[in-house]
A = this chain, B = another copy of it.
Amino acid sequence: MASSIYDLARHLNISIGTVSRALNGRADVNADTRQRVLDAAAKLNYSPNQSGRSLRRGSTHSIAFMLQPHPGDQQYGEPFFIPFLTGLQAKLAERGLDLIVVMGAPGDYQQERLRRVVETRRADAVVLAWTRREDERIDYLTRVGFPFATLGRSRSGGKPYPSLDLDFEKAGADAVDRLVARGHRRIAAIRPSLNLNFGYLFLAGYRKALRRHGIEVDPELIASGFINEAGGYEVTPRVMNSRNPPTAIIFNNDAMALGGCKALAEMGIRPGHDMAVIVIVDTPLCRYFSPALTAFRPPLEPMGRRLAEMLLASIPAYAGEEGPRTIREVWPLELIARDSD
């Protein structure tokens, strides 16, 4: 069925060694025989057995991305990740590497699956997303010395590792600046409850900017909920029912914003008229919502490409000439002004 290197060798009456060398483009093989090998490979529809190759080479030629469904009934996905993965995959494919996405079971926060990937050596490196303030995955990977890179920062991990993050702190501050410039003084912030690092960063920027404007930070205007529509829906009334309700809300996430707007609508409050709304991470939802939501857009696809570069550069076996040699990068978020604030 599947042809091996032996089939090629037998077919051409040469040794498997030469076949392998010809296929791998090594120098010590006659140009003529190389061509014959290549032709035979095409004719016999040969393609190398991945298991055999990685066993011998000690590397799998593939990179894993951990995708984690959050707990909760009918949990839907982060549209966020697809363009990022597209960029990641594109850059890896340029280098002949495969991207595999490993699904975790809901709830275990990837620990078990991650161990499995590492221990069975299913990939040469792994890309983590949704980093937490303290992230045991990062500790684990540094401890066992497995190559990795993260989308997002963390305080964990002793040694430096490639990471790419968005400047959520600046985005939080920019959002506040913009709202203050438009006359708002009572600005609420709604962020995810899990200790996802970008939630902290956002809040830090929010606080700093408020103080800079001489506005006291009111704890009643800060709420955290589950990072999905239900979370936003549940938590928004809480800030609205505070003693001194806000005139503007910054949501950390499009899904939370959708839920929040639903809650507002039920209170008869219209975003863009009675309430200013800004979302930190833009998605098509923000653009096509009515009113269109002002949001900060991340360049996800380039981010995927860049993080792949950074990861590859950090692995000796793969290091090539891949742009600048930085190991941590923080990219700006671009504000897309629309109709909701």
Contact = CB atoms under 8 A, between A and B. Distances in A.
Per assembly, the copies of the chain total: 2
A102 B67 CA distance: 12
Given A83-B75, A290-B262, A122 B284 contact: no
Interface in A24-50: 45, 47-50
Interface string A54-88: 11000010000001010000111111111101101
A294 to B, nearest CB: 15
A233 B289 CA distance: 11
Nearest to A3: B119
Interface residues of A, number: 65
Contacts of A76: 79-80, 82-83, 283-284
Given A121-B49, A262-B290, A82 B75 contact: yes
A285 interface: yes
Interface string A220-239: 00000000111001000000
Given A2-B121, A69-B86, A289 B258 contact: yes
A77 B74 contact: no
A223 to B, nearest CB: 17
A13 interface: no
A47 to B, nearest CB: 4
A229 B284 contact: yes
Interface in A308-341: none
Contact of A51 (B60, B83, B116, B284): B60
6 contacts: A74-B284, A78-B79, A229-B287, A229-B288, A230-B284, A255-B284
The 3 closest A-B pairs by CB, nearest first: A77-B82, A101-B101, A76-B79
